[in-house]
Structure formats: structure tokens, C-alpha cells
Amino acid sequence: MEFYIALQPLVALIAGILILLIPRLLNYVVAIYLIVTGILGLMRL
């Protein structure tokens, strides 16, 4: 039995929770989210 988790929605969920908990981290969370989604997008090529 294989268990597959899509990483992009998981990263988005974690980023949203961090922004809600610590709003002053917004710039860092957005930057990290963009970097991670970019890397994930390139890895799927």
C-alpha cells in the first residue's frame, strides 16, 4: 500500500498556520514558501 502526500498543499498549510501564529514572520514564510514550491516544481520536470 502506497501513501502519497502532495507536498505543495502541505507546505501551503504549514505556511498559513505559521502566519496565523506569528504574523511578523510573514516575509520569511512567503519567501520560504516560494522557494520550496519553485524547487518542488523543478523536481517534477
Q: What is the CA radius of gyration of the chain?
A: 12
Q: State mean pLDDT over 30-39.
A: 88
Give Dmax over CA atoms of the chain in angstroms.
41
State how far the Cα of 27 lies from the Cα of 33, in Å rounded to an integer.
10
Reduced to 3 states (helix: H, G, I; strand: E, B; else coil), residue 5 is coil
State how far the Cα of 40 lies from the Cα of 25, in Å rounded to an integer.
22
Does the structure show a pLDDT above 80 at 45?
no
pLDDT at residue 38, rounded to an integer:
87
Q: Is the pTM of this model over 0.85?
A: no
Domain ranges of the chain: 7-43
pLDDT in tens, 2-34: 666 678 888 888 888 988 998 998 999 999 888
